[in-house]
Structure 1
């Protein structure tokens, strides 16, 4: 449980840092905004599935406004903190049955879903940082070890 909690703490920190970094630099590159929105919507999709609900209403790939995305960062953190706060170690191996956005059925453990959520965002934050660098903006350092050094 401690590893999952640590990875999720990093996710909250990294999401906030990259969104705030983009806001401070007035980043408006549509690909960067789309990637950040995708990351945040995917997190919401997985939380919805973990809560036993359908996630069909969510559009994974679309553009977003930075102020809306900053709000989503906070909403996601609150939602995951509430969900994880109720989990016990033995709950992590519980199997969750869900359908993907195309309606195809799948099942995975809570542990694997939370691990995926934590890792998925790091991939896209890296893509965002590449865009920032290409646009002559400063990349936002969001590596796990930097989080742990604080």
Structure 2
């Protein structure tokens, strides 16, 4: 006498593909959330311009984040600051040149290397935002 046991790999493979898709979607959403958080904290740390009726000036208005991109097993994105005035990138100068020369921001609570500092200080929170978005997507698709 023989009793046979069968395991359907197709259903299992389909579940793995759905889980992988949910993880990617959650990661993209989480990276978007993390970039928004990074942009906000970088804006709050950026030096404040001295322009009448424009608190923060051109620099703070020109801090933005990219759209997350998926490729080669990674999801990438960045926060950028490009405050051009007559061909001169004030954001680049403050962040990379002036800070390297030892200059300091005039307003308390602001720093010249605002992009780097906000990333470093917020890294653990950004990681949690990504993890939470992945968990939420898996839950939304009924996989937890």
TM-score interval (norm. to shorter): 0.3 to 0.5
Bigger proportion of residues as helix = 1
TM-score by length of 2: 0.39
Q: Rg larger in 1 or in 2? A: 2
- Name whichever structure is richer in strand by fraction: 2
